A = this chain, B = another copy of it.
């Protein structure tokens, strides 16, 4: 495993366990069995490590959407598959998910670039898919950009809700969300 990846994985475990505030670069280095100086060769501070953790996760979601976008299936199937793959990622990587959910509790004086990019890029890609589904009359006449953002915020909010609330589970949440969103836009 390369050093950057080793630092990322180690940081995820520690932040998930201890919380972002209590995590020190020193501890990440110790746990990864590398020198603190080596960590600083890759990341200039703790925030940059966090930004990289987000970037890797966000890139995964962008990849899913980009792949689905060009597939020869209905928009309904695309939306369903996106929800399925997104929630599956969250469910199978509880430590990473715990870090992602902490995002909303982090200091925002300087916002994280990876988070900003994600909030802008993902709804944009989704809006293009919605626009194309609209032209094919798969869905009703909606404002694609607005609905893409609404879908994005719903999925984001509900993902963190599932993690923080023991009464919900990923499967049930995914099903309810899919029904809400699909019924909400179908023709």
User: Do B107 and A109 touch (CB < 8 A)?
Assistant: yes
Contact of A153 among B106, B156, B179 (CB under 8 A): B156
Q: How far is the CB of A113 from chain B (nearest CB, A)?
A: 15
Question: A90-131 CB contact bits vs B (8 Å, 1 = yes)?
Answer: 000000000000001111110100000000000000000000
A176 contacts B by Cβ under 8 Å? yes
User: Do B142 and A179 touch (CB < 8 A)?
Assistant: yes
Which residue of chain B lies nearest to A181 when distances are taken between CB atoms in the complex?
B184
Which residue of chain B lies nearest to A182 when distances are taken between CB atoms in the complex?
B184
Task: Enumerate chain B residues within 8 angstroms of A72, measured Cβ to Cβ.
Answer: none
Contact of A167 among B145, B152, B181 (CB under 8 A): B145
Q: How far is the CB of A150 from chain B (nearest CB, A)?
A: 5
A183 contacts B by Cβ under 8 Å? yes
CA A182 to CA B13, docked complex, whole Å: 41
Contact of A150 among B140, B142, B180, B183 (CB under 8 A): B180
Q: How far is the CB of A126 from chain B (nearest CB, A)?
A: 13
User: Do A180 and B104 touch (CB < 8 A)?
Assistant: no
User: Do B161 and A149 touch (CB < 8 A)?
Assistant: yes
Q: Please give me the 9 A-B residue pairs with the lowest Cβ-Cβ distance, nearest first.
A: A153-B157, A184-B184, A105-B108, A180-B184, A154-B154, A183-B184, A146-B176, A107-B107, A143-B176
> Can you list 15 pairs linking A and B with CB atoms under 8 Å apart?
A104-B104, A104-B108, A107-B107, A107-B108, A142-B179, A143-B176, A149-B157, A150-B154, A150-B180, A152-B157, A153-B154, A154-B157, A157-B157, A179-B184, A180-B184
